[in-house]
Amino acid sequence: MLFIHGMLDMGVHPGALFQLPQALMDANKDFDLLLLPRAAHELPVYALRRQWDYFVANLAGKVPPKEYQIEETSSDSMKAKMKSLMIGEDVETGGAEE
């Protein structure tokens, strides 16, 4: 079982987050936990790759390619553009708007 959690997700208090892993440890159950210090609710590309690696290894029984590069999706580009508009930065040039 793989748990992925963005530490900036305000919907889950850290105390609540660690209750489930502790219960699994108390029951001597195996699990994997990936904590993302700078992620909120949406998964960054790194987490997506780790999720796919986990599926390949644990469901398909194969060895995933090491450090496979996942291309940024159009929705990732759109999120970056919207975020930049909110903070007043031009995504195309990487600088502040004039």
Say how far apart CA 60 and CA 15 lie, in whole Å: 34
- Looking at residue 27, its amino acid is A
Residue boundaries of the structural domains of the chain: 2-87
Say how far apart CA 1 and CA 24 lie, in whole Å: 10
Between 14 and 47, the more confident residue is 47
Q: Is the pLDDT of residue 23 over 90?
A: yes
Q: Is the pLDDT of residue 97 over 50?
A: no
Number of CB atoms found within 10 A of residue 48's CB:
14
**pLDDT given at position 4:** 93
The pLDDT confidence band at residue 12, using thresholds 50, 70 and 90, is confident
Instruction: Give the pLDDT confidence of 40-85 residue by residue, as tens digits.
Output: 888 899 999 999 999 999 999 999 888 888 876 656 665 666 666 6
